[in-house]
Structure 1
Amino acid sequence: MNLDDIPLFPLSTVLFPGSYITLRIFEPRYVDLVRHCTRTGSGFGISLILEGREAGEPALPAAVGTLGMIEDFFTLSDGLLGIRVRGSRRFKAKSTRIRDNGLIHAQVRWWAEEARIPVPPEYSLLCIVLERLLEQVGGDHAKAERSAFDDASWVSFRLAQLLPVEDTERQRWLELTDPIARLDELLHCIPRFQSA
């Protein structure tokens, strides 16, 4: 199977397929990245930082990440460029290299999109929790069709993005390829957020 070469944007957060993130762009390597992606209509990989920081020296990214597609541009209050990015498909990096400007590129293998599987009845609590969270945070997903709440992948990805957990736990959920297994792990962590 052929590998594709994509630029990476390591972050201190995890992006799931179908989720959105806003990024503040100020380093020259990422300004160039945004310019390239805009010109070519391509995306870039977003991977959790395992070692290092978002700014400065290139960080060590997790192997599994999500392709980000730029959906909007705006000027932030500090005058810097802001972009809205939507998570697309997941990938696993097989190798990485650092270009002269500090931008990391990865040779990646794409993961197949998860099949649409109905949410089993024993996980219906998660749909209720997700609805309540979306009522509070609003956004595009709060306007989703009712049918979305019966898609195990959609529900599990949305909850994994919204629950207040450590990014290492989010990364584990991103790396699961079975949406039911992801729902199971999410269900087991819900008691942590219930008041006594």
Structure 2
Amino acid sequence: MAASPMFPLGSVLFPSVPIPLRVFEPRYLRMVGRLLDEDEPGFEFGVVLIERGSEAGGGDQRASVGTMARLASVAAGADDLLIVGVGTRRFTVERWVDEDPYPRAELSMLPELEWSEALAPLRTEAEALVRRAIARVAGPHSDAGIELSDDPVEAVWQLAAIAPLGEYDRYTLLRSTTMGGLLRQLIDLVLDAEELWSAEGGV
């Protein structure tokens, strides 16, 4: 099993969602350089959530489920790179391997979540709740009106990405095994967050 280059982060990446990254550590600069040297287009690296500890210097505890990111753009700064990755497939980490010169792991890809039109009412409910929560947190001039993909699976992942939730809640969503389960969990987590905000007398 070939090892994939990995980028542990303090945030969760969902399929079909972009993630901008500032790359400045020498090992990750080398990783991006090697990706750009690949013969085939569509260079990918894995993104996993750091559950505990700091990624810098190692010693962190990493989540076992993550998302592949396709390198969509690279811009050079004075002493760093500004890259954008776009989430593609989810995976499970089977084994971390030698991290010289950068983190790498052997991965197993997870099956894509399947859409059914029977889930349309659940998606409508989830979208309404997420947009309401965004407006409540960020005000009327927020991303509450952001347009979603015409593809229903992509749109649900985008909803999960824009929902005002913490990273551990987002990781719970990433681990969903069915589209219905993802939507129900998203609804429950947003409702729980709204209850917490009300109890705290905040937004």
Report if aligned partners of 2:176, 2:182 keep a CA contact under 8 Å in 1.
Answer: yes
Alignment of 1:2-151 (within 5 A): 3-40=1-38, 41=41, 42-57=43-58, 59-75=60-76, 80-101=80-101, 103-118=102-117, 119-130=119-130, 136-137=142-143, 142-144=146-148, 147-148=150-151, 151=152
In the alignment, which residue of structure 2 is the partner of 1:181? 181
Q: 1:188 to 1:181 in 2, by over 3 A?
A: same
CA contact (8 A) 2:64 2:93 kept: yes
Question: Percent identity among equivalent residues?
Answer: 26
One-letter amino acid of the structure 2 residue matched with residue 86 of structure 1: V
Take 1:54 and 1:16, find their aligned partners in 2: how far apart are those partners? 20
> Which has the higher mean CA deviation after the structures are superposed, 174-183 or 108-117?
108-117
User: What's the TM-score once normalised by structure 2's chain length?
Assistant: 0.79
Show structure 2 runs of 5+ residues with no match.
136-140, 199-203
TM-score (norm 1): 0.82
Distance 2:190 2:53 in 1: 30
Supply the RMSD in Å over aligned alpha carbons: 2.6
Rounded Cα–Cα distance in structure 2 between residues aligned with 1:51 and 1:131: 30
- How far the C-alpha of 1:125 sits from its partner, in A, is 2.1
Distance in structure 1 (CA, Å) of the matches to 2:35 and 2:59: 20
Contact 2:46 2:69 in 1 (8 A): yes
Aligned-partner residue type, residue 125 of structure 1: E
* Distance verdict in 2 for CA 1:82–1:122, change over 3 Å: closer
2:201 is matched with none
1:14 counterpart SS class? coil
CA drift of 1:43 comes to 0.8
Q: Report the count of equivalent residues.
A: 186
User: How far apart, CA to CA, are the structure 2 residues paired with 1:159 and 1:144?
Assistant: 8
Give secondary structure in 1 for the equivalent of 2:97. strand
Q: CA deviation at 1:129?
A: 4.2
Deviations 1:61-116 (A, max 9, x none): 2111100111112245x752110110010111111123333x22111111122223
